[in-house]
Amino acid sequence: MGRYTARRLMQMIPVVLGATFIVYALVYALPGDPLAGKCGQRPCPDAYIAKYTEQFNLDDPLPVQYVKYLGNLLQGDFGEAVNGEKVLDQIERTYPTTMKLALVAIMFEIIIGIGAGIISGIRRKGIFDSSVLAVTLVLIAVPVFVTGTSLQWFIGVKAGWLPVTATDGTWRQLIMPGFVLAGLSLAYAARITRTSLAEVMRADYIRTAKAKGLPRSRVVGVHALRNSMIPVVTFIGADFGTLLGGAIITEGIFNIDGVGGLIYRSIGLREGATVTGVVTVLILIFLLVNLFVDLLYAVLDPRIRYE
């Protein structure tokens, strides 16, 4: 296990380097004047242009710019935006809200998605199973902005049960956007759980466990459910890493000051340092989450061993 973990950590290095270079190149190699609009309707003063060019190494070739940026990054310096605010300060301000939103969404996926999938997988071809398939199909088909605005109107405005926006990022405010963000993934989690559990329930060792007279709760909870969770855990882990990247549409609908909105604004303003710094953090977290998921396989299925 230790050697496998060390090898995976070493494999992350080229992934991080390659991904950050691609993002850096895409941001700074865009055609056009990077100073366009930075000084309003008037042209920027020569002193400002010189300072901007020196600060972001725009006179150097792209590979040299990236190496200098990477050197600062290794020292913990993520750079600063044009307005002078540190990129690390922007991440520290917006990331906790996105983290809370992702946790709320994941809880909906686990409790509702996996729970509905388990019941549906055990009681296949029943009324509940048919209802789950129908509801999940609707969640997959309906766009996020339709789901979000509909819940805002019916639950927030008409019923008044939950806040319409989440400007403060409190847990209560994030319940509705968390469900909206989890809607699509929740549907897939339910379907994956249902399919995987139904397949495991037909396995030979499950029939043997039933023939030995084991209680149904033990057959399902210990033998079937544990082995059927591997594809579900894979999906949830990958989805959690994606959710941490921020959901631009969901954050926009509910007016959430999160990472998704920060990336969107930074791309529009060509804030290369901000975009690259945020994406670097997201890549690292995504890789670590996936490593944790891979190590969790051995806990779920003792037959899996890492050499």
For 235-285, the pLDDT digits (tens) are: 888 888 778 776 788 888 898 888 888 888 787 777 777 888 888 888 888
Residue with the bigger pLDDT between 45 and 137: it is: 137
Question: pLDDT tier at 299 (50, 70, 90 boundaries)?
Answer: low
Cβ atoms of 254 and 176 within 8 Å: the answer is yes
pLDDT at residue 108 tops 90: yes
| Averaged pLDDT of the chain | 82
Instruction: Please give the sequence-ordered ranges of beta strands (E in DSSP) within 177-221, or none if there are none.
Output: none
What pLDDT, on the 0 to 100 scale, is given for residue 305? 61
Lowest mean pLDDT among 24-38, 43-57, 98-112: 24-38
- Residue 276, burial from CB neighbour count under 10 angstroms (0-12, 13-18, 19+): buried
How far is 233 from 297, CA to CA, in rounded Å? 8
- Torsion sign (Cα): 93, 170, 249, 238: positive
Question: Of the spans 65-79, 164-178, 224-238, which averages the highest pLDDT?
Answer: 164-178
pLDDT band at 177 (very low <50, low <70, confident <90, very high): very high
* 52 has a pLDDT exceeding 80: no
| Predicted TM-score (pTM) of this structure | 0.81
Q: With bands split at pLDDT 50, 70 and 90, how would you rate the model's confidence at 113?
A: very high
3-class state of residue 191 by DSSP: helix
**Which two three-digit tokens encode residue 204?**
């030979």
When pLDDT is cut at 50, 70 and 90, the band that residue 41 belongs to is low
pLDDT tens digit sequence for 71-103: 888 888 887 776 777 888 888 888 889 889 999
Domain ranges within the chain, ordered by starting residue: 90-263
- Comparison of pLDDT for 41 and 196, the residue scoring more: 196
CATH superfamily to which 90-263 belongs: MetI-like (1.10.3720.10)
Whether 87 and 274 have beta carbons less than 8 Å apart is answered as: yes
The least confident of 18-27, 32-41, 145-154 is: 32-41
Q: Is 57 left (phi over 0), alpha (psi -120 to 50) or beta?
A: left
Q: In this predicted structure, what is the pLDDT of residue 190?
A: 92
| 13 has pLDDT over 70 | yes
Q: What is the pLDDT of residue 36?
A: 63
Is 60 exceeded by the pLDDT of residue 198?
Answer: yes
